[in-house]
Chains A and B, each alone.
Chain A
Amino acid sequence: MAMTDIISRNNVRISGSGTQPMLFAHGFGCDQNMWRFVAPAFEHHYRVVLFDYVGSGKSDLSAYDRERYSTLDGYASDVLEICEVLDLQDVIFVGHSVSSMIGVLAAKREPARFSRLIMVGPSPRYINDDGYTGGFERADIEGLLDLMDKNYIGWASFLAPVVMKNADRPELGQELEESFCSTDPKIARAFAEATFFADNRADVVGLEMPSLIMQCAEDAIAPVEVGQYLSRVIPSSTLRMMKATGHCPHVSHPEETVQAIKEYLSPQ
């Protein structure tokens, strides 16, 4: 695929004046907008690359391939293709939620391309298993899928473009008016299935990649046991317990998130 095709397929945005690339990957449910309180803090020292997975944000929906994106491997291929066309080397991959595992898969396929993984609220498996606490039962995930289906029955556009002011940060209002977290319902459902039914434990055990595990307090999606599990099985990992609560510290507590990443990248 040509460079321009990948750039437009994944709505790749590049900023920053540094040379080492920081590739920010959004999680399930939104798009690269989720990084807007965090990514700018790294533009001075890094080459910041943002993108949308196919099916999210302003990606090219026509590039969606049900088979390719039925597992997280397809999304990892997106990441690697972006790295390839931009010739990214020594990449610091910052993944939120499911993107942490997508980053793991990408780093396992092309380890030489990555220098570190920064995982925000990661979980290698969401469903409880023998002796493993993922936090959910299969029926819980089916409940989520049901919620998604219902939200797409009559008001399928509820996440699609709506003209609205951003009262919190008026300087961002203009751009957000265009589109916010727009997702195609069928693709969103398939992404949810690929995410929450995945089991990536075999991929993380013994992973040889320096990794930061950012574990939020009271995270309903990735409970603390999961963060502890990851820090046990990834030898060169650092577990950072955050004061931030919830699952989206980069949105709810951007300052603490930025600080945690900076401290990891440039320890005093």
Chain B
Amino acid sequence: MDSTLNTVPCGFVSIADDGTMKAVNVTLAEMLGYRRSELEGWHVQKILPPGGRIFYQTHVFPLLKLHSRADEIYIALRASDGSDIPVLMNGARRESDGEWLNDCVFVKMIQRHEFEDQLLQARRLAEEANAAKARFLSMMSHDLRTPLTGVMGHAALLAGGAFGAVTAEQVESLDRIKEASHELLRMINDILGFAQVESRTITVSLEPVDVRQSVERAERLVRPRVDERGLTLSTDGIAAGLTVLADRDRLQQILLNLLTNAIKFTPRGGRISVEADDAGERTVIRVADSGEGIPEDQLEAIFQPFVQLGEQSADSSKRGVGLGLAISRELARAMAGDVSAASTSGAGSVFTITLPYAGRT
């Protein structure tokens, strides 16, 4: 071995297929507290901890033998005093005098090793916490829906006079119970939807869906609230016969989310419009409003779970759980599309759904 290889700042060992260390440089011997003569001729397992021996036999050696090289492998070497030294290893295979040798270099990575330990620990904790959260959300939303259904059912029975005549004041009160219950149910459904997004259990069934029909269906559902708030909702800007490749119900859910938000954040007398057209292989659906707009630095944040613009608002009608946009974006992405936002503060917002174009009928 030449003197340069002996003193380069990384360990070097040449290992035969039977595991014998044929040549070891001084750097490696010193790193492990041995003399070269105490390593050369010995089996490589002498410098590996037990777990490392398994890993060498099951992963590293097969890679070297069958693949001719192994790159960026984390492994620990065992020093003569029994301590383990974390190293990063690269290996390559070569023939020398009719014998195949596996040349390996090792670079110490003690600080990186500690850092990676912390990363691993943090990842494990995050995964556990996330799984617990998803389980909790899913369970809670199911459990909350049952009593709520009871509240809504009984309110409807009372309002319908099932237990005797009700006064005008009582009807008004029951309407409020009904309205509040619907709002609560929507929030619970959002949480359940989010739990599905989190646990990656969204299933989509893609088919060509007529955009105008979808928007009109959503419009019928939100029309009472649009009228109630004195807003104008226009769907004239949707190209005729335009279809997208989407899941019909999921697209409906996204449209309802965006329209509900637009209604919520547009002041009385304002305008909401839905337009759609194809742009090459994509179809673009825009939901625009003349509301107060979204500050530029919030345009991405609003797609984060549990973030919403109305958070600070004294107007409780603007508050929610902050999941609608997060869910909408995930649903769109599950259909190979996306949802994004653009806004000029004080001059309204435009939410854009993009989905694969499926032609015109």
Contact = CB atoms under 8 A, between A and B. Distances in A.
Interface of A: 27-30, 33-34, 36, 97, 135-137, 140-151, 153-155, 158-159, 162, 164-168, 176, 180-181, 196, 218, 220-221, 244-248, 251-253
B52 A168 contact: no
A147 B51 contact: yes
Nearest to B59: A29
B57 A221 contact: yes
B58 A28 contact: yes
Contact of B61 (A140, A148, A159, A248): A248
Interface string B75-97: 11000000000000000011100
Interface string B323-352: 000000000000000000000000000000
Nearest to B67: A180
Contacts of B56: 220
Contact of A246 (B18, B72, B120): B18
B58 A29 contact: yes
Given A30-B62, A246-B61, A144 B74 contact: no
Nearest to A166: B68
A30 B113 CA distance: 25
Interface string B10-38: 00000001110000000000000000000
Nearest to B43: A218
5 contacts: A141-B54, A147-B75, A168-B65, A168-B100, A244-B18
A247 B19 CA distance: 10
A87 B110 CA distance: 54
A149 B49 CA distance: 16
B74 A164 contact: no
Interface residues of B, number: 40
Contact of A218 (B45, B61, B74, B75): B45
B67 A166 contact: yes
Nearest to A126: B54
A180 B71 CA distance: 13
A218 B57 CA distance: 12
A151 B45 CA distance: 19
A151 B74 contact: yes
Contacts of B69: 164
Given A158-B71, A245-B43, A149 B50 contact: no
Given A144-B51, A164-B68, A166-B66, A153 B61 contact: no
B165 interface: no
Given A153-B119, A251-B66, A30 B58 contact: yes
A158 B68 contact: no
Contacts of A168: 65-66, 68, 93, 100
A28 B55 CA distance: 10
User: 4 closest pairs, A vs B, by CB?
Assistant: A143-B51, A29-B58, A140-B50, A144-B51
Given A147-B51, A221-B57, A245-B18, A167 B65 contact: no
Contact of B51 (A29, A146, A162): A146
B158 interface: no
A158 B73 contact: yes
Contact of B49 (A140, A154, A166, A218): A140
B19 to A, nearest CB: 5
B93 A221 contact: no
A252 B58 contact: no
B143 to A, nearest CB: 26
A34 B113 CA distance: 31
A153 B73 CA distance: 11
Contact of A180 (B19, B45, B51, B63): B63
Given A140-B51, A149-B120, A164-B67, A218 B58 contact: no
A151 B61 CA distance: 15
Contact of B18 (A151, A155, A166, A252): A252
A144 B55 contact: yes
Contacts of B66: 33-34, 36, 166, 168, 176, 180-181, 251
A150 B93 CA distance: 24
Q: Which of B51, B53, B75 has the most CB of A within 10 A?
A: B51
Nearest to A151: B74
B43 A137 contact: no
Nearest to A141: B51
Given A136-B50, A168-B93, A176-B67, A159 B45 contact: no
A36 B18 CA distance: 18
B116 interface: yes
Q: Which of B56, B57, B61, B72 has the most CB of A within 10 A?
A: B57
B51 A167 contact: no
A100 to B, nearest CB: 14
A13 to B, nearest CB: 16
Contacts of B73: 151, 158
Contacts of B119: 153
Nearest to B48: A220
